[in-house]
Amino acid sequence: MKIYKSTKFSAVILLTLMVAIFMGCSKKKERVYELLPPDPEMEKDLTELVVNLTVSIENDGGPTAGEGSPKLIDGDLDSKFLIQSFAPSFYIQEEYDSAYRIDAYTLTSANDADGRDPKDWTIQGSNDASTWTILDTQTGQLFDARKKTVRYEFTNAVKYKYYRFAITALKGGTSGLFQLAEWRMIRRPQQ
């Protein structure tokens, strides 16, 4: 009788193992995760989407120099863009991979010589890099510290492919050296 119970018990274990193996070998359904589009109500720094950065005056060593124009959008507050011969017609231009609505930006002062900081400027938008719309104008701006980030907001409902930062005066005047650590462009939630 003991053998019978043991065999019955073994059969139940064997049957349970077979079911477990069968269930484990069956094709599992793949889970599909849908990516939701970016939430238009979330703020986003769009600077990473820049496909081309151009300047009307470049660092004397060129864009690949230690203080060349790409330093403006590298996300590093310890680097900077420096030009040796500022003129009031100077601009920095970003081309994006597509048209975006941008309505805020930040500027970060560089590490030394505050006379090189931008003081007067406009932010402009364009879809053909020829006709420009002024989106924001600032005058008399003074950074009160080195490596300081200042945020500016403006109203804009239009998507542009090109954005231009046109600087007309520096803290130290309208000629000489210009420097800036970072220029970041931001899309705020629509009101």
Q: Could you tell me the mean pLDDT of each successive run of 10 residues in the chain, 191 residues long? A: 58 67 57 57 92 98 98 97 97 98 97 97 98 98 97 97 98 93 95 64
Q: Mean of the per-residue pLDDT values for the chain?
A: 89
Please write the tens of the pLDDT for every residue from 12-64. Answer: 676 666 666 666 655 555 555 556 555 656 899 999 999 999 999 999 999 99
- The domains of the chain are located at 44-187
Pairing of strands 176-180, 44-45: unpaired
- Between CA 177 and CA 82 the distance in angstroms is 7
Closest to 134 measured CA to CA, from 144, 142, 122, 145: 122
Closest to 116 measured CA to CA, from 79, 148, 84: 84
Q: Looking at residue 135, what is its pLDDT?
A: 98
- Domain 44-187: CATH superfamily is Galactose-binding domain-like (2.60.120.260)
- Between CA 72 and CA 65 the distance in angstroms is 12
